[in-house]
């Protein structure tokens, strides 16, 4: 008898378990079905007019390539200086700097080259209030990257043989050595992100005023991405611009050669992060904001399947889309990349100016592949020709 009831209990329990599992499964199937059956009809079209603030050494070349491919495909007008790839170097961006170009009267769509950020002037040039976004990175990594990218000129400028010596110089004389507050070429040096984002070195050591400026930047940018969270950043970007995922599939461009990197010990990192306190303040502020954006994104896209997925397998919409993007990037790599080589070994449209970086040998049998690894100068030539043809017709 005892045996019999426990047998019944077991049967009942397993029956309920089966029912529960089938209900959950059907809910999942149903919700996945619904999501695929009725793709959300986007009421707003993909955004084609925007500003990207290209911070140095923040994976911004990869973002720029994504933007360039989009601009090229849609024949959009990219803001270009008269020559070169900088819209401003030592001064804040000023739209009248385009006065001397043939394309000064063209109706521009995209602002995306290196400059010192000045939103008011960008808005004036683009003739309307556009979405703006940028990217930040751990300032110790930014500095380490910049030091090697500009090797050997940057170190020589500060009288340091290598980055370890540079850090010793900073450690012993940061407050007394006037050279340390100078910038190589008038533009590269301490707190590079703050400099690029238009903040004056005069306020680098004034935490209170600096905080106000960060809050202003926070209002000026609709999205600030984080370089070490590239895939998540691009998921948020495509969401902001109403773009399909395929637009943000990419190769990692401008990667330094392995020998152009140095491991810093904890002590050295501490010296740098103290010296780069202003950039650290920027990085920490926007990293927090980024976390909030990811939470918002997951809440906004909470569906039955992501809800259940989160409940049972701790997945969410962001993790899901991040994985899709990583997969797509891998497929792009397999389809297009034959080899990775030092930049000096590359030719034609694939060669950048700087030989401290690696580049890609691309399978040219697939003609669409080239655009994923095309250099900045090669793109700028295409955009310049387009601007010239439009300024003649304007």
Ligand X SMILES: *[C@@H]1O[C@H](CO)[C@@H](O)[C@H](O)[C@H]1NC(C)=O
Residues within the interface to ligand X (CB under 6 A): 96, 99, 167-168, 171, 267-268, 271
Q: Which is nearer to ligand X, 96 or 162 (CB)?
A: 96
Q: Which is nearer to ligand X, 121 or 220 (CB)?
A: 121
Full 3-state SS string of 308-351: HHHHHHCCCHHHHHHHHHHHHHHHHHHHHEEEEEEHHHCCHHHC
Could you tell me how far CA 79 lies from the centroid of its own chain?
19
Residue 97 CB, shortest distance to ligand X, in Å, is 6
Give the DSSP letter of residue 85: S
Q: Which is nearer to ligand X, 91 or 228 (CB)?
A: 91
Residue 196 CB, shortest distance to ligand X, in Å, is 22
Residue 187 CB, shortest distance to ligand X, in Å, is 19
Q: Which is nearer to ligand X, 38 or 100 (CB)?
A: 100
Of the candidates 143, 135, 123, which has an alpha carbon nearest to the alpha carbon of residue 289?
Answer: 135
Tokens describing residue 28: 């999942």
Residue 166 CB, shortest distance to ligand X, in Å, is 11
Residue 133 CB, shortest distance to ligand X, in Å, is 28
Identify the H or E element spanning 360: strand 358-362
Q: Which is nearer to ligand X, 31 or 89 (CB)?
A: 89
Q: Which is nearer to ligand X, 121 or 231 (CB)?
A: 121
Residue 95 CB, shortest distance to ligand X, in Å, is 9
Residue nearest to ligand X (CB): 96
Three-state DSSP class for residue 53: strand
Q: Are the beta carbons of 49 and 71 closer than 8 angstroms?
A: no
DSSP letter string over 76-120? --B---SSSSBS-SSSPP-GGGGTTSTTTTS---EE-SB----HH
Radius of gyration of the chain from its Cα atoms, rounded to whole angstroms: 25
């Amino acid at each position: 008898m005892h045996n019999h009831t426990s047998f019944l209990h077991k049967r009942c329990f397993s029956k309920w378990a089966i029912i529960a599992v089938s209900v959950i499964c059907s809910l999942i199937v149903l919700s996945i079905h619904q999501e695929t059956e009725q793709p959300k009809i986007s009421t707003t079209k993909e955004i084609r007019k925007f500003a990207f603030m290209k911070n140095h050494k923040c994976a911004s070349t990869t973002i720029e390539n994504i933007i360039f491919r989009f601009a090229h495909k849609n024949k959009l007008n990219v803001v270009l200086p008269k020559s070169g790839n900088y819209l401003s170097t030592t001064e804040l961006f000023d739209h009248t700097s385009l006065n001397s170009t043939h394309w000064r009267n063209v109706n521009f769509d995209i602002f995306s080259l290196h400059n010192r950020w000045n939103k008011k002037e960008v808005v004036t040039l683009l003739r309307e209030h556009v979405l703006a976004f940028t990217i930040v990175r751990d300032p110790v990594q930014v500095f380490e990257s910049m030091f090697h990218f500009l090797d050997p000129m940057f170190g020589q400028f500060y009288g340091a043989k290598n980055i370890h010596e540079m850090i010793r110089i900073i450690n012993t004389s940061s407050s007394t050595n006037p050279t340390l507050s100078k910038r190589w070429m008038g533009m590269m040096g301490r707190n590079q992100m703050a400099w690029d984002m238009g903040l004056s070195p005069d306020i680098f050591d004034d935490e209170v005023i600096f905080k106000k400026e960060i809050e202003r930047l926070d209002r000026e940018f609709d999205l600030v991405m984080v370089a070490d969270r590239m895939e998540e950043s691009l998921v948020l970007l495509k969401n902001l611009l109403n773009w399909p995922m395929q637009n943000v599939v990419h190769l990692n461009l401008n990667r330094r050669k392995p020998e152009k990197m140095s491991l810093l010990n904890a002590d050295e990192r501490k010296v740098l992060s103290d010296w780069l306190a202003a950039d650290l303040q920027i990085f920490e502020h926007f990293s927090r904001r980024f976390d909030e954006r990811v939470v918002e994104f997951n809440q906004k896209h909470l569906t039955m399947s992501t809800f259940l997925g989160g409940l049972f397998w701790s997945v969410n919409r962001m993790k899901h889309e991040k994985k899709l993007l990583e997969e797509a990037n891998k497929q792009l790599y397999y389809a297009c990349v034959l080899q990775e080589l030092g930049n000096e070994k590359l030719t034609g449209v694939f060669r950048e100016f700087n030989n401290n970086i690696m580049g890609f040998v691309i399978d040219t049998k697939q003609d669409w592949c080239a655009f994923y690894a095309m250099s900045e100068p090669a793109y700028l030539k295409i955009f310049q020709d387009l601007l010239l043809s439009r300024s003649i017709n304007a």
